[in-house]
Amino acid sequence: MITTLGEAAAMTTTQPTAAPQIEVRDFDFYYGQAKVLHGISLDVPARQVTALIGPSGCGKSTFIRSINRMNDIIPDARGEGLIAIDGEDIYGPGTDVVELRRRVGMVFQKSNPFPKSIYDNVAYGLRIGGTRNRRELNETVERSLHRAALWDEVKDRLHDSALALSGGQQQRLCIARALAVDPEIVLMDEPASALDPIATTKIEELIWELKENYTIIIVTHNMQQAARVSDRTAFFMLGKLVEYGDTKTIFMNPKEKMTEDYVTGRFG
């Protein structure tokens, strides 16, 4: 049977979506008196890549950092509303924030390896968590470097300084460090913005592979990157969620005029 493009598109849009792992309802965020996120509501499916796009200052990074409460370290910052992971309100009074940040790993825009060996960078979170067994550490370091597509490049120099790696390798090392503590969700805040095109391609390929085991949310200013790596895309503007849906729809047939103007380059 020959399927037309139109039929294929219809079949794609009617496929059931994965159950949400992250639920956000009417979430506001404040820095002091300044309200920077306004009533954000969305569901993030498990084991998919969700991209957050929008112009600088639109609230993307504030939102992604709210998901593992990294914003808590900022004085007078506070969130209101619901963010739930697997049905549990992460802003609830009984939340163990340390455990939350183990479950929800973070990779930042600028690679930030510690001034330690490659091995010690990956093992750091495990040791902080109390792991001392050398065999367990060795196995986890190797597994994490494999998952970050870095093992073959560094396996013979694990005890060399991480600072001697290239920028792209350092970023993959930071991804390996995040994966070592076995998170369920990985947040990436513009992880390739400081990298050259070859290193960027490796990061994008890695993101696509990692979604088999992790739920990934990526902030990116690069719309082509969002289109390449993500299953779903959320467009933010002035602290508000303008539109959210499957990536093909957002880029090819958005519902909102503002979304169309942004993804076609008319502003931003």
Adjacent-strand bridge partners of 104: 185
pLDDT of residue 17: 53
pLDDT at residue 265 in the model: 87
Q: Across the strands, what pairs with 45?
A: 20
218-232: pLDDT as tens digits: 999 999 999 999 999
* Tens digits of residue pLDDT in 159-199: 999 999 999 999 999 999 999 999 999 999 999 988 889 99
pLDDT category at 210 given cuts 50, 70, 90 is very high
The pLDDT value given to residue 218? 97
> How large a percentage of the chain has pLDDT more than 70?
93
* Chain segment 72-128, per-residue pLDDT in tens: 999 999 999 999 999 999 999 989 999 999 999 999 988 899 999 999 999 999 998
DSSP 226-268: HHHH-SEEEEEETTEEEEEEEHHHHHHS-SSHHHHHHHTTS--
Count CB neighbours of 21 within 10 A.
18
| Tens digits of residue pLDDT in 250-265 | 999 999 999 999 999 8
CA–CA separation, 63 and 161 (whole Å):
33
Q: At what angle do helices 134-147 and 167-180 cross, to 10 degrees?
A: 130
Of the pLDDT bands very low, low, confident and very high (cuts 50, 70, 90), residue 7 is very low
Q: What confidence category does residue 9 fall into, taking pLDDT thresholds of 50, 70 and 90?
A: very low
